[in-house]
Amino acid sequence: MAGRTLRSAVVVAALLAPLAACSSDDASSSDDAPVSPTEREPVEAPDFVLAVDDAIAAVEAELGKGQEYFEVTANAQFTNVFVATDDGTVAVPYLFVDGELQPPAPGQEGASGNTFTADDVDFAPDMILSGVATDLPDTSIDALSVYGDGVGAVYVLGATSQVGGQLDIVVTANGAIVSVDPI
């Protein structure tokens, strides 16, 4: 286990090293200060980022407004939506493909965890990827997941690093990187 922890630490250090090397031409900023959201450029959102809101809207058109969700995960092929039912003890999975909501799969009993609502999903589509584009420019984004955190929504980007490793990158609604974790 210690070897895996050490490898994980080396991967994270290698990925974050370029961040420490970045500097600004602005004499008033620190050499290792993160780029502020106002300095990041908007990034054209891939279709799967936009599909998060579309998938939630489709579920709410089918089931009614005010649904609670355990997770919504979108990638280039489809979007999974896990609706919390039965007081948050059952997760009903829906698949949203090519703009169409598919019939639900059987509910998964024994579910638990934090949930969120459509109103909690409030990310800026053109900014959610901007922190990665600025700070980790050679990283490709494979998926966007939204999870409940007990008070709202958390955004996690599934990514492939420039050296081939898989990463979970937690970002704010405006794309600022909160954490980078190898998976």
7 in a domain, yes or no? no
Q: Summarize pLDDT for 55-67 with one digit per residue, the tens.
A: 999 999 999 999 9
- Which tokens sit at 182? 């190898």
More confident residue, 13 or 85: 85
User: What is the rounded average pLDDT of the residues 72-80?
Assistant: 98
- For residue 103, being part of any structural domain is answered with yes
Q: Which residue has the higher pLDDT, 108 or 3?
A: 108
Residues 156 and 146: their CA atoms lie apart, in Å, by 6
Does the pLDDT at position 28 exceed 70? no
Q: Is residue 13 part of a domain?
A: no
Flag whether 110 is in a domain. Answer: yes
Mean pLDDT of 29-50: 72
Please check whether residue 102 lies inside any domain of the structure.
yes
Q: How many domains does the chain have?
A: 1
Return the HEC string of the chain. Answer: CHHHHHHHHHHHHHHHHHHHHCCCCCCCCCCCCCCCCCCCCCCCCCHHHHHHHHHHHHHHHHHCCCCEEEEEEEECCCEEEEEEECCCCEEEEEEEECCEECCCCCCEECCCCCCEEHHHCCCCCCCCCHHHHHHCCCCEEEEEEEEECCCCEEEEEEEECCCCCEEEEEECCCCCEEEEEEC
Is the residue at 153 inside a domain?
yes
Q: Is residue 101 part of a domain?
A: yes
Residue 41 located in a structural domain: yes
Adjacent-strand bridge partners of 72: 81, 146
Characterize the bridge pairing of strands 140-148 and 68-75.
antiparallel
Domain that includes residue 96, residue range: 34-183
- Please give the model's pTM, rounded to 2 decimal places: 0.79
Please determine, for residue 12, whether its predicted confidence score (pLDDT) is greater than 50.
no
Q: Give φ, ψ of 134 to 5 degrees.
A: -80, -50
